[in-house]
Amino acid sequence: MVCRWKLQLHSKHLSSSHIREGDIPPLPKGLSAVQVLSDFMKYLFNCARNFIVESHASGASMWKSFGNRIEFVLTHPNGWEGPQQQQI
């Protein structure tokens, strides 16, 4: 299990009284925070698709009607700058 993985992306030069490097759990060996984000987004996408398809009477056709018009809105903590935003 991976927790608090977004903290791996925080800017190292911004001061933060509540986040210390030692407080950030390490990621599993061989995984980057961007890879964890990718896996997380795939999981959420699949959960949303399955819920829509399985819980609506015409869920499969409804899902197909979305086509390529699905948009994702990603949030990030205040203080994150261009490099952190680019990663997500």
Q: Identify the pLDDT of residue 15.
A: 58
How far apart are alpha carbons 36 and 28 in whole angstroms? 9
Q: How many CB atoms lie within 10 A of CB 16?
A: 12
8 Å CB contact between 11 and 78 = no
At 25, is the pLDDT very low, low, confident or very high (cuts 50, 70, 90)?
Answer: confident
Segments making up each domain of the chain, as ranges: 5-87
What pTM does this model have?
0.70
Residue type, 19: I
Helix (H, G, I), strand (E, B) or coil at 23: helix
How far apart are alpha carbons 81 and 1 in whole angstroms? 27
